[in-house]
Amino acid sequence: MNIGNLIKIAINSLFRNKMRTILTMLGIVIGIASVIAMVSIGQASTQSVHEELSSMGSNMIMIMPARQHRGGVDMGMSSSKSLDNKDLESLKNNTRYVAAVSPNVSTNKQLIYGNNNHSCSISGVSPSYLEIRKYGLKEGVMFTDDDVNKYNKVCVIGQTVVDALFTNGESPIGKTIRFGSIPMMVIGILEEKGQNGMGDDQDDIVLAPYTTIQKRFLGITYFNMMFASATSEEESELAATEITYILRSNHGIKSGASDDFDIRTQEELVSTMSSVSQMMTVLLAAIASISLVVGGIGIMNIMYVTVTERTKEIGLRMAIGAHNRDIKMQFLCESVILSLIGGVIGIVLGLIISYVASKLMNMPYVVSETAIVASFLVCAFTGIFFGWYPAKKAANMDPISALRYE
């Protein structure tokens, strides 16, 4: 019997019991749709994280104090005073692969303008911070090195702060806002960045000269952390190595001793976040694929029922000359077609779910061609694997017994 006749007979048989066919395919549809959706959402999440970190500066390097331990107690990083002005000057003047460097000193304050107030973190940085973190100015200017040297009380604010304090629509430029009891003049507004991948508002920010925060707010001489940018993304590791050497030399750390600082490059962050995201994608896809097994078992169960219902038909076909392989191929073809139709519907449904999820979660829409091809092959395998035994049972029937079956 040729393949065309087998497919025609299989389709007629499946459409003879439409509701049973639909319910049997449902397990395959759900399984394939789940796998496609989970893989697509996982890949979209990975891409979103990569884009988010890249928007912060693909060649950015973060330098943080190492965690401090006293008497076996973890004191955290805030107690460390290992990063200071000497380190800043060394990194500015004695590096080849570092394009820019900025200290960071932060404190939380209540911002007040007129009758409005807003709780916010104010970061003390240098003018190069905008270049390192890929911030742009929407209006006004950035403070200068002269402002840093003179501890001037000026600041640049994000759009969230603008919306919270300047509710009447007036321009913040030139206005004075108070941080607690200290007045600061607004000289610039940052371009909007929106939320990052962690859900943090990147526009809820105030930048001021780091010396102003050190001297007028905190009374300290050290930095909470430092940001730097490599001359290029490819040279980030070379820059990190260079920074490590300079800081170890500055801090008098002997060979073999642990660093009193930590260095993180964007490449490391992207790699770490991508690994976590990919692992979660594989885990979710593995869980979703369980429904494929359930769907396959459903196909096997229905094919057993079909073989039993059509026992006389099998006996009649054998009696008029059908070979065992013809009977086997007929039922195997039904199983594969059932699985493939369910797979196609599942792929379409999975792509629709992925698209809707990407819009709701504000992530890029990613179509995984590999997942689609793999799903299609899995459907074919499922049809063959779970349809083989019922088909074999039908092919091994004794024609006389089959004709006598009631």
CB 197 within 8 A of CB 115: no
Return the bridge partners of 162, or none: none
Which residues of the chain are under the pLDDT cut of 70?
Answer: 1-6, 9-10, 49-58, 67-80, 195-199, 267-278, 281, 284, 288, 308-314, 316, 318, 320-322, 389, 391, 393-406
pTM summary value? 0.60
Side-chain-side CA neighbours of residue 3 (13 Å)? 2
**332: exposed, middle or buried (Cβ count in 10 Å: 0-12, 13-18, 19+):** buried
- What is the reported pLDDT for 299? 75
Nearest to 162 by CA among 203, 210, 127: 203
- Contact partners, residue 351, CB within 8 Å, separation at least 6: 36, 40, 367
Nearest to 89 by CA among 33, 40, 145, 51: 145
Q: What share of the chain is helix, strand, coil (3-state, %, to 5)?
A: 55, 20, 25
- What is the reported pLDDT for 49? 67
Rounded Cα–Cα distance for residues 166 and 368 (Å): 46
Nearest to 207 by CA among 106, 114, 62, 134: 106
Q: Please give the structure tokens belonging to residue 16.
A: 């003879």
Angle value at C-alpha 259, between 234 and 243, nearest 5 degrees: 30
Rounded Cα–Cα distance for residues 366 and 207 (Å): 36
Amino acid at the residue 215:
K
- Contact partners, residue 251, CB within 8 Å, separation at least 6: 82, 260, 261
Alpha helices in 1-151 (DSSP H): 3-16, 18-55, 85-93, 129-133, 145-149
Q: Please give the structure tokens belonging to residue 133.
A: 């973190």
Amino acid at the residue 103:
P
- What is the reported pLDDT for 1? 53
CB 205 within 8 A of CB 135: no
Return the bridge partners of 58, or none: none
Rounded Cα–Cα distance for residues 76 and 82 (Å): 13
CA 359 to chain centre: 14
Rounded Cα–Cα distance for residues 82 and 339 (Å): 64
Residue-wise pLDDT tens digits, 284-304: 677 767 777 777 777 777 777
- What is the reported pLDDT for 79? 47
Rounded Cα–Cα distance for residues 6 and 175 (Å): 82
Side-chain-side CA neighbours of residue 46 (13 Å)? 20
- What is the reported pLDDT for 45? 74
Nearest to 324 by CA among 225, 393, 376: 393
Count CB atoms within 10 A of the CB of residue 50.
19
Rounded Cα–Cα distance for residues 361 and 26 (Å): 27
Give backbone dihedrals phi and psi of 313, rounded to 5 degrees, phi first. Answer: -60, -40
- Contact partners, residue 8, CB within 8 Å, separation at least 6: none
Q: Please give the structure tokens belonging to residue 218.
A: 């905190």
Give backbone dihedrals phi and psi of 229, rounded to 5 degrees, phi first. Answer: -130, 135
Helices and strands in the chain: count of H runs, count of E runs: 13, 12
CA 362 to chain centre: 11
Amino acid at the residue 15:
F
- What is the reported pLDDT for 71? 44
Nearest to 289 by CA among 103, 20, 1, 33: 33
The SS3 of residue 70 is: strand
